[in-house]
Amino acid sequence: MSVSPYATTEPVEPYLMQIGDIGITRSWVVTPRGTAPLRGSEWYIVNRTAYTSAIPVWAIVLAIVMFPIGLLFLMAKEQRVTGWIEVTVRATPIAHGVSIPAGSAAASAVYPQVAYVRQLAAG
């Protein structure tokens, strides 16, 4: 485990929330790289998700089995979500980033969580 020699070693309060491996308390940001004050921290979020459309396997099987009328099944499409959401925090003396897989429950909650943490950091 690599800890910054400049990281603050103050006692840590209970977590309000956790974004990936970044823990947030009322006054501190806790990462594997160290602990830093929450006040004045900067939070960045980058959405690197991609949406693709493909013919599902079941439609291909039915098109073959029920040929020629089964060719209509090839019109079926399914949406797939791939990629991740990057969350980065910069708080003197640390900087740490985490990638959250797209389509996961954590990914759907990350935007409101980062907005709340930004409010805490500004306050």
Alpha-carbon distance of 122 to 53, in angstroms, equals 41
Structural domain includes residue 62: yes
Report if residue 77 sits inside a domain: yes
Rounded CA-CA distance 8/1 in Å is 16
Residue 106 in 3-state DSSP? helix
Q: Do residues 102 and 84 lie in contact, with contact meaning Cβ atoms separated by under 8 Å? A: yes
Place of tokens 């003197």: 92
DSSP state of 70: G
Could you tell me if residue 5 is inside a domain? no
Predicted model pTM: 0.75
Dist. CA 123–CA 115, nearest whole Å: 13
Domain assignment present for 3: no
What is the number of domains present in the chain? 1
- Look at residue 1 and tell me if it is in a domain: no
Confidence of residue 84 (pLDDT cuts 50, 70, 90): very high
Average pLDDT over residues 32-49: 95
Domain range for 66: 17-122
Amino acid occupying residue 3: V
pLDDT tens readout for residues 51-71? 999 999 999 999 999 999 999
> What is the spatial distance between Cα 20 and Cα 31, in angstroms, rounded to a whole number?
10
